[in-house]
Amino acid sequence: MLRFVLGFVAAIAPLLAAQAAPGFSLNEIAPGVYAHQGKTSLMTRENLGDIANLGAIVGDDAVAVIDTGGSLIEGRAFLAALREKTQKPIRYVINTHAHPDHIFGNGAFVETGAIFVGHKNLPRALAARGPHYLSAFRDQMGDALDGVTIVAPTLTVDETMTLDLGHREIVLQAWRTAHSECDLTILDPKSGVFFAGDLLFLQHVPVVDGSLLGFLEVADRLVAIKATQVVAGHGPLPAPWPKALEDQRAYLTRLTADLRAAIKKGEGVAAAAKTAGGEEREKWRLFDDYNARNATAGFAELEWEGP
């Protein structure tokens, strides 16, 4: 019976995707630059994992896709919506990092023949985490997870790389461990649009899955990026650059200060995770879903500071 139900869902999944395409918003935020805003939410069966912002940049010859969404269904809807905007070949699919809401849609783009691109650490991160993500998200997403496969990049970026889409050269930059250990950003100098991936959160509380201090340092370095607008990994788009960095910086700074004070006092990690960063609660959505986690990981990192 279960097998029958799953088989049925798999059979209609392409139909769902085709139907979902008209409802999948993909807006032109600058000439030849498209973006989709995900919901500020956790990934669920109901939202099909559609919680991250996605994008596409179209040159004279080819298209680069930036992240693919949190399910195969969402990835197919994104592809269908993109095909309504342009028929140019999709030459690159760029993943900004390894998290499921950004990569679970990769499978939808395999048949386009695109080259998958990521940070040099992305293949390793997917190898270490992919199997866990596939099993852990079954609980949250149920059959919306069907068909999801982990597709690793074959073109990786050590520091920076320029991709030519035809009179449109976009600049990819790999960062030290910050939000995660494989954060990659994309700048389109022609439009001045910067795709920050999850190195920028707006309204959605920032998530630290790499290094709290690294995140702060990279956020400071990002200020120098010559852009006018930014597409964050999560939250409203486009946003003014670099002003959009300010709220996140305040949060990470507050959390760091609170954790350092707790460590100095000799508090344990469990106690510190309950209170650190608490002053920022009202400024963010999903605070209770992620703040204690950020505080826990941040505590374990900052504990090594000093003699």
Partner 1 sequence: MNKAALCAAGALFALVATGALADNAPDPWPGLVVDIFQSRPIADANGVIALEAPARAEDAAIVPMTIRFSDPSQIKSATLVIDQNPMPMAAAFTLGDKSGVGFIETRVRVNSYSNVHAVAETGDGKLRADAKFVKASGGCSAPAVKDQDEAVAHTGKMKYREFKSADASKREAQIMIRHPNASGMQMDPVSRAYLPAHFIDKVEVFQGDAPIFTMEGGISLAEDPTFRFTYAPNGAKTIRVEAHDNRGGVYKGEWPIGDAS
Strand pairing report for 63-66 and 90-94: parallel
> Please, which residue, 85 or 260, has the CB nearer to partner 1?
260
CB of 21: closest distance to partner 1 in angstroms? 26
> Please, which residue, 57 or 255, has the CB nearer to partner 1?
255
> Please, which residue, 37 or 156, has the CB nearer to partner 1?
156
CB of 127: closest distance to partner 1 in angstroms? 4
Block residue for tokens 């609980």: 139
Residue 143 to residues 45, 69, 98, Cα–Cα distance (Å): 7, 16, 21
> Please, which residue, 188 or 280, has the CB nearer to partner 1?
280
Structure tokens at 92: 């690159």
* Nearest Cα to Cα of residue 191 among 55, 30, 53: 30
Block residue for tokens 């409802």: 23
CB of 40: closest distance to partner 1 in angstroms? 13
CB of 160: closest distance to partner 1 in angstroms? 19
Return residues touching partner 1 (CB under 8 A).
42-43, 99-101, 121, 123-133, 135-136, 139-140, 152, 156, 177, 181, 207, 209-211, 214, 266, 268-270, 273, 289-290, 292-293, 295-297, 300-301, 303-304
CB of 258: closest distance to partner 1 in angstroms? 15
Local structure of 97: helix, strand or coil: coil
Contact 98, 88 (CB under 8 A): no
> Please, which residue, 161 or 269, has the CB nearer to partner 1?
269
DSSP 31-73: TTEEEEPPPSS---TTTTT--S-EEEEE-SS-EEEE---SSHH
